[in-house]
Structure 1
Amino acid sequence: MLLTTNTLIHVPPLLLVAVIKAIAPLRPVRRACDWLLMAIAASWISTNTTMIRRFTSTRFVFDIDARLRPDGHYLVMANHQTWVDIPMLQAALNRRVPLLRFFLKSQLFWVPLLGLAWWALDFPFMKRYSRQQLEKRPELAGRDIAATRRACAKFMHIPVSVMNFVEGTRFTRAKHEQQASPFTHLLKPKAGGVAFVLDAMGRALHSILDVTIVYPDGPPTMVDLFANRVREVRVNIREREIPAELLGGDYQNDPAFRERVQSWLNGLWVEKDQRIAQLRTR
């Protein structure tokens, strides 16, 4: 009830500022609206985090090896196990870096209140197509790439943290076995999204934040979090430089560049797999 009330308090002013931004003719007014939108979103996240800390006994262990800047431009990459990952990422990074922007499924626009809030905050909505749809209409294959470029073009001129769950879906043992993943605690990483963000934003990004999330008692549900059944959450954050050889390439049409990105990402995933094992046993 408190989380719902917090949302009802924050979303109306968020939408009002978004409308003012949309119709304002002057750039200084639009920039002021951007600042207000970020402040409202940060307040909503901060209040949610405070309530989780106050009404549960969940222990947060944040290990941050990074120089974080609230005015920076980051690509944030994390493993993904549960929807609880999102409030944990927000708890660890809110107001330390710019607001996390997620690439969302287009269907999520219709979530009551939150869909409009995500739209107001310029979260990019992506429409996924099945293999059968792409076979019938090959031209659909480029629409996600175009949407990524449009979103990143907006982010070039404002502080931003572009969030990417590199595995593309939540980890389960069934998916792990189906993929025949070479990693113990991770699914295979998907390099396409990372490559497109690096290509679209290029040198505007300051660095990569490599986030590893571990639940010692196993991945919980949101109900487990609200019901005080999550004993501890461990979040490790490391800042990484963006390799120069990954900038300015053509992931779609250059096989050598595509292999270079995939090799680099697989190397990060080997390290992350080992880090998860360490965090689970610590």
Structure 2
Amino acid sequence: MLAYLLLILNVFLVIINSALCSIVICLIAIVKILLPSDKLKAFATRFANKIMWIWATVNSWILKTSNSVDWQIEGIEGLSKESWYLLICNHLSWTDIVVLCCVFKDRIPMPKFFLKQQLLYVPFIGMACWALDMPFMRRYSREYLIRHPEKRGQDLATTRRSCAKFAYQPTTVVNYVEGTRFTQQKRAKSASGYQHLLQPKSGGIAYTLAAMGEQFDSILDVTLAYPNNQTLPFRDLLMGKMTSIVVHVRQLPVDERVQGDYFNDKKFKRQFRLWLDEVWQQKDLRLQRVHHGVEVDDSLLEAHK
């Protein structure tokens, strides 16, 4: 009974926190539309980022107050709020966003998520994300491009325009490489070959690197796990039942393995996919250690650092 009361209270607090912060950010968005220069618009974005930081801080307080969590965090040394990062991560639950904000909000710039174009028209959410300079993307399927070859390259051009504003202030761009939340059912259906991950999708991260790869100081390879709350981690978090959160971070260089013409150079495209597969293999080995206590040779985990 206490857990369900805590669930109701936490849902209420999260909704109120999200609603109030969204309203403030939407007001900033209205002002931002009226501002005459890019410099003033960038100032408005920084103010909106502060409100997002407040949102993340309140959520962090709710998480820590409601749960007795054993945090196992590795690899966050040397991070800076004055740097540019591409953050790639496995995706398990809505909990991931809360956890990432809790861990990184005071260590790196507030995250920017690539969003579908349709979300721009969702009341409050679309305007708030626009004020935060979240990039909206309109991705064209392979079948659509076959029927409309004139659209080829436009999605990359849109990505470049969206990312251009990140040049003026330190930014963290987040990419969930699997494209969807992991479940055992999805893993079995996709025949991914991994025990705790879905097959990584290289297109999204390739678009980001093609658009602003030279700006990134490093790639943050983040591995998340909830060892004792694997089935419904977000519900358990809200009910005060979250007991352990594992966050492992590796800083990877932005080098010749990830910089190139992914869309026209077939040799580079194969190289890039091999690189991403190697990153995912190491992530899967690390998760096997977390969930099953499997002894893994550290040299395998760090082979491609």
Same fold, TM-score > 0.5, yes or no = yes
* Identity across the alignment (%): 37
Q: Alignment partner for residue 26 of structure 2, among 15, 38, 42?
A: 15
Given the superposition, is the C-alpha separation of residues 84 and 141 from structure 1 closer, same or farther in structure 2, using an over 3 Å criterion?
farther
The alignment status of 1:45 with 2:39, answered yes or no, reads no
Deviation at 1:70, TM superposition (A): 0.9
Match of 2:197 in 1: 186
2:67 partner letter: T
The alignment status of 1:36 with 2:47, answered yes or no, reads yes
Trace 1:1-282 onto structure 2 (pairs within 5 A).
1-128=12-139, 133=144, 136-139=147-150, 142-217=153-228, 218-247=230-259, 249-281=260-292
Q: Could you list the runs of 5+ residues in structure 2 that have no partner in the other structure?
A: 1-11, 294-305
Query: Matched residue of 2:168: which SS?
Result: coil
1:255 partner letter: K
State the Cα RMSD in Å.
2.2
- Aligned mates of 2:211, 2:117 — CA distance in 1: 21
Query: Matched residue of 2:160: which SS?
Result: helix
Deviation at 1:103, TM superposition (A): 1.1
Deviation at 1:166, TM superposition (A): 0.9
CA contact (8 A) 1:220 1:230 kept: no
- Aligned mates of 1:75, 1:130 — CA distance in 2: 24
CA contact (8 A) 1:84 1:220 kept: no
Query: Matched residue of 1:233: which SS?
Result: strand
Deviation at 1:53, TM superposition (A): 1.1
Query: Matched residue of 1:209: which SS?
Result: strand
Q: Could you list the runs of 5+ residues in structure 1 that have no partner in the other structure?
A: none
| Number of equivalent positions | 281
- Aligned mates of 2:244, 2:123 — CA distance in 1: 30
- Aligned mates of 1:102, 1:203 — CA distance in 2: 19
CA contact (8 A) 1:61 1:233 kept: yes
- Aligned mates of 1:144, 1:18 — CA distance in 2: 25
Given the superposition, is the C-alpha separation of residues 7 and 83 from structure 1 closer, same or farther in structure 2, using an over 3 Å criterion?
closer
Deviation at 1:32, TM superposition (A): 2.5
Larger CA deviation: 124-133 vs 56-65:
124-133
- Aligned mates of 1:205, 1:169 — CA distance in 2: 24
Deviation at 1:274, TM superposition (A): 0.8
Given the superposition, is the C-alpha separation of residues 115 and 225 from structure 1 closer, same or farther in structure 2, using an over 3 Å criterion?
farther
Query: Matched residue of 1:30: which SS?
Result: helix
- Aligned mates of 2:284, 2:218 — CA distance in 1: 21
Query: Matched residue of 1:216: which SS?
Result: coil
CA contact (8 A) 1:66 1:237 kept: no
